[in-house]
Chain A
Amino acid sequence: MSAPVSPGLRSGSLPLLVALMTLLAGLSLAGLTGVQTLANGWSGAARNATTIEIPSDTPQIQDRTSTLIQTLHKTPEVTAVQELSPQQVQTLLAPWLGEVSGNGHLPGLSLPVVLIVAHTGTPNLGSVVHEALPEAVVEEDRRWGERLNGLGSSLVACAWLAVSLIAAIAVLSVGMTVRRSVMAQRKAVEIVHFLGAADLTISSRIAGRAALLSLGGGLAGLLLLSPVITMLARKLAPFSHGTPTTISPEGTWGDMIVTWWNTLHVLPRMLLEELGALPLLAACLGWITAQTVVLVWLRRLP
C-alpha cells in the first residue's frame, strides 16, 4: 500500500449505490436494445411488404387474379407473391368479423382474395396492379412502416432518456456521497492542505478510492444483472433462429458456464460490449465526480 499523503474516501454506501445504478443502467440498455431490435423489425417488415385486396364481386376473379400474380412475378424487385387461402383470410379478419362458424364460412359474406407481395426496395406496385386489375385495392404497408418507425424512434428516445437520467442520478449520488465523506474528514483534509499538499494530491487520492469503490459496485451490479440478461437472452433465442439452451442440473460448473456463455451469445454483440463497459464507465464517472467535488470544495480554503 502506498504511503498516505492525504485522507482517502470513507464510504460504505458508494459500492451499493453504484451497484444499483449499474443494475438500472443495464436494464435500460437491455430495454433499449430490445426496443431498437423491435423497431428495426417492424419498420423492415412493413417497408418490404404490400397487401393487395381483390373484392369478391370482381368479374372473372380467378383468371384475372392469376394474370395479376404472373405480372407481379415479372416485376423487378418483387421477391414473392403469396395468395392467402380463404382460411387465412378468415383468420386475418377474425378480429373485425368475429369467430368463423364450424363450416369455415362467414354467414352471408363472401371473402375477398388477398395477396401479400414481398419485395426489396420501393417498386411502384400501385400502377402495375391497377393496370391489370383496376378493382383491386393496394394497401401500401410503407405508410404503416413509417408510423411504426416513428413509434420505434420514440421508444428508443425514451430508453435513451432513461439511460441518461440514470447517469445523471448516479453522478449526483456519487457527488453527494463524496461530499459527505469529505465533510466527515474535513479536519484531516484541512491538516494536509495547510501542511502544503497540492489540491490535486488530495483530490486524486479521494478520486482514486471513489473509482475503485465504483468499479467494485459496477461489477456487483453486473452480477445482479446477469440473471435478467440470461432470461432476456433465452427469450430472444427463438428470434435469432436459435433454441433456448437448458442447463443440466447434473452438469459441472464448467458446463454451466459454457452453456450460460452460449446463451448470452444470442444477444447483440453491442449490448454485451455496453454491459461489459458499465463497471469501467462507473469507475470513470466516480473518479471524475470525486475529483470535481473535492477540487471545488478545496477552493474554499485559502
Chain B
Amino acid sequence: MIRLLNVSMMPPGVGQPVLRNLTLTVPQGEFRWLLGPSGAGKSSLLRLLTLETRPSAGQMDLLGVSVSQATRSTLRNLRRRIGFVPQDYRLIGEWTVFDNVALPLRLRGASERDTRREAFAVLEWLDVAHLADKRPGTLSGGEQQRAAIARALIGRPELLLADEPTNALEDAQARRLLSTFQELVEMGTTVIVATHNEALVREAPAASITLQDGTLAGSDPQSGIAARRSDNL
C-alpha cells in the first residue's frame, strides 16, 4: 500500500518544490497509470517511491513502512521489496546482462543455482536469454529495456514502478508486458506505470494518477487491469 499525505518535494538547489501537497492512496495489489505532461512531476514522484529521495514535507508510507521515520537499514530492506524500470534502464555497463538481472536476488542472498534459474526464466520470457552474456552497451534500446524489466521483475517485488517501460518495445512486446503487469497485480503486487502513450492507456484502461505542475490534477475511477483483478477475486 502506498499512502502520501501532503507530501512535498524540493530537490536541493531548486527554488520551488517539484511536488506540492500531494495526497493519495494506492491499496496493495492495485494498478495505476501515472499520467501528466512533461514536467508535471511524474519522474519526481517515482523518485520518491523508489526511495531515491525523501519528501521534504508530509508523510509517506510505503508497504507499511513510514519512510519519513525509517532508519537506513529499514530503507535498505524496503528497497529490496520494490522493483523499478527506469526510463534510462540504469544497467551497469561493465557487467553482463545476466549479472545485472541477477543482482536483486544476489543482494537478498539467494543461492547461485536459484538465481541462475530465476534469471534465465525471466530473460527467456522477455526473449533476451540469448543476450545473457552480452554487455548492455552492445544491445539495442529495446533489448536494454527488456533487461531492465527483467531486473525489476526477478525479485517478485511487492511494488513495481515503471517509467515509460514500453517506449522502446514493439507493440506485441508492450501488450505482453501489460499482461505481465496484470498477472503481478493478480498476485498482489502494486504496479504504477508512468507513460505518455495514450494508445496504451486506452488499450488497458485502469485507474490513474494524473499530475499537473507538481500537484494531483485528478484520478480516474478504477477500471481495466485493476477491475479484472476485482472480478477474479
Contact = CB atoms under 8 A, between A and B. Distances in A.
Contact of B75 (A191, A195, A302): A302
Contacts of B115: 3
Contacts of B52: 194, 302
Interface string A193-237: 011111101000000000000000000000000000000000000
A3 B75 contact: no
Nearest to A187: B90
Contacts of A7: 92, 94
B104 A196 contact: yes
Contacts of B102: 3
Nearest to A197: B107
Nearest to A192: B103
A197 B80 CA distance: 8
Interface in A149-205: 187-188, 191-192, 194-199, 201
A194 B92 CA distance: 13
Given A196-B76, A302-B52, A191 B92 contact: yes
B99 A194 contact: no
A5 B73 CA distance: 17
B95 interface: yes
A4 interface: yes
Interface string B104-115: 101110001001
Contacts of B93: 188
Interface string A1-37: 0011101000000000000000000000000000000
Interface in B59-75: 72-73, 75
A26 B54 CA distance: 50
* B50, B106, B151: most-surrounded residue (chain A CB, <10 A): B106
A148 B90 CA distance: 67
A138 to B, nearest CB: 75
A201 B73 CA distance: 13
Contact of A3 (B72, B79, B99): B99
B53 interface: yes
A223 B79 CA distance: 47
A188 B104 CA distance: 14
A52 B206 CA distance: 111
Contacts of B1: none
Interface string A74-114: 00000000000000000000000000000000000000000
Contacts of B73: 198
Contacts of B91: 191
Contact of A195 (B80, B94, B112): B80
A188 B77 CA distance: 19
Contacts of A191: 90-92
Given A3-B99, A194-B79, A196-B76, A201 B107 contact: yes
B51 interface: yes
A192 B91 CA distance: 10
Contacts of B99: 3-4
A189 to B, nearest CB: 9
Contact of A5 (B51, B78, B90, B107): B107
A74 B76 CA distance: 84
B112 A196 contact: no
Given A196-B77, A196-B80, A302 B51 contact: yes
Contacts of B151: 195
B106 A5 contact: yes
What 3 A-B pairs have minimum CB-CB distances, sorted nearest first? A196-B80, A196-B79, A188-B92
Given A192-B103, A197-B76, A198-B73, 18 more contacts: A3-B115, A4-B103, A7-B92, A7-B94, A188-B92, A188-B93, A191-B91, A191-B92, A192-B92, A194-B84, A195-B79, A195-B80, A195-B103, A195-B104, A195-B107, A199-B72, A302-B51, A302-B54
Interface of A: 3-5, 7, 187-188, 191-192, 194-199, 201, 302
29 contacts: A3-B106, A3-B112, A4-B95, A4-B99, A5-B103, A5-B106, A7-B92, A7-B94, A188-B92, A188-B93, A188-B94, A191-B91, A191-B92, A194-B50, A194-B84, A195-B79, A195-B80, A195-B103, A195-B107, A196-B76, A196-B77, A196-B80, A196-B104, A196-B108, A197-B107, A198-B76, A199-B72, A201-B107, A302-B53
